[in-house]
Amino acid sequence: MKINDNRPIGVFDSGMGGLTVLKELQAILPHENFIYVADSLNLPYGDKTEDQIIQFTQRIMDWFKQQDVKMVVLACHTSSAIAHASLIQNAAFPILCSITPIAEHFKNQSRHIGIMATQRTTQSKVFEKYFLSHNNDHKLVSLACPEFVPLIEAQQIDTIESSLIVQRYLNEFLDRNIETLIFGCTHYPYLKKMLEKLLPENSFLTFEDPGFYLALKTSKTLEELNLKNNGLNGATKFYSTHAPDIFAEKIKFALDIKTNVNLVKA
């Protein structure tokens, strides 16, 4: 028997990167209610210690529990890489990792894969772990791109300076004859158009956004656990741990909507 569960789904990232995941979730699950939290106070996560990332993320999970969410989507690959295993041990709700779904998608396709990610995600080698556990024939190259998140958060992605920075990292992957380049940080899809423009004309390199596969996994999990909201179109509430007015500007840039952002102390 299907029930109508209109409790919200928590979506979490250190900043505006997770808005790329939220957009995919809203497209696939238009009836669901979402609560999006950006831990802007501690941005970026890519240069933090493992203990700090676990601590920051656990605080947000505790806050989500107070909001009676039915599920949390970690729309942050660094949090998924470092904190997911710890978070699910005593969780009051399902917590979805952002990396597993795309690894499952490629399990039957042996590829030469490049992963651009934060410093902490690259050091964790979590993408290698998940991808090779599904298909040992993958060839993987992970490179940290620490300059990307500050550029994106500052909304400086169409400048000559940003183009030169992106080209430098892209060349490192092209030199390794990568077939598929995966955005190993949820911020990086904002750079897709620039990356495509910078590709050589004879390049067959394709880009993959794990956010799409995470949204599909979320829908499937809701169905399996009988947690779907089958009512009217849902709504989204936005929160930030720092400077909510500034984060509202980033939402306008990313999603082209004007909305209120509330301050959350977690």
pLDDT of residue 110: 85
How do residues 54-110 score in pLDDT, each as one tens digit? 999 999 999 999 999 999 999 999 999 999 999 999 899 999 999 999 999 999 888
Given strand 9-13, what is the order of strands in its sheet? Answer: 95-96, 71-74, 9-13, 34-38, 236-240, 261-263
Q: Where are the domains of the chain?
A: 9-99+212-263, 101-210
What's the whole-number mean pLDDT along residues 110-134? 92
Angstrom distance (rounded) from CA 170 to CA 174: 6
76 is catalytic: yes
E strand segments, the chain: 9-13, 34-38, 71-74, 95-96, 112-117, 139-144, 180-183, 206-208, 236-240, 261-263
pLDDT given at position 46: 86
Phi, psi of 96 (to 5 degrees): -95, 130
Distance of alpha carbon 98 from alpha carbon 39, whole angstroms: 17
- Whether 97 is catalytic is no
CATH number for the segment(s) 101-210? 3.40.50.1860
* Cα Rg of the chain (Å, integer): 18
Rounded-to-integer distance, Cα 191 and Cα 227, Å: 34
Strand order of the β-sheet with 112-117 is 139-144, 112-117, 180-183, 206-208
End-to-end Cα spacing for the chain: 37
Q: Which tokens is 181 given?
A: 């380049």
Candidates 35, 185, 214, 248; catalytic one: 185
Q: What letter does residue 155 receive in the DSSP assignment?
A: T
Residue from 76, 96, 102, 261 carrying the catalytic annotation: 76
Same fold, 9-99+212-263 and 101-210: yes
What confidence category does residue 135 fall into, taking pLDDT thresholds of 50, 70 and 90? very high
Q: What is the dihedral of CA 78, 84, 87, 92, to 10 degrees?
A: 120
Under a CB-based contact definition with an 8 Å cutoff, are residues 153 and 19 in contact? no
> Comparing C-alpha atoms, which of 166, 197, 173 is closest to residue 113?
173
> Quick one: CATH architecture of 9-99+212-263?
3-Layer(aba) Sandwich (3.40)
Q: State the Cα–Cα distance between residues 116 and 168, nearest whole angstrom.
A: 12
Token pair for 63: 């806050």
The pLDDT tens digits of the residues spanning 139-182 come to: 999 999 999 999 999 999 989 999 999 999 999 999 998 999 99
Strand partners, 244: none
Please give the pLDDT value at position 16. Answer: 95
DSSP string, 143-207: EE-TTHHHHHHTT--SSHHHHHHHHHHHHHHHTTT-SEEEE-STTGGGGHHHHHHHS-TT---EE
> Averaged over 197-211, what is the pLDDT?
93
Which amino acid, residue 11? V
More confident residue, 111 or 23: 23
CA angle 264, 39, 41 (to 5 degrees): 90
Provide the pLDDT for residue 1: 52
4 pLDDT more than 60: yes
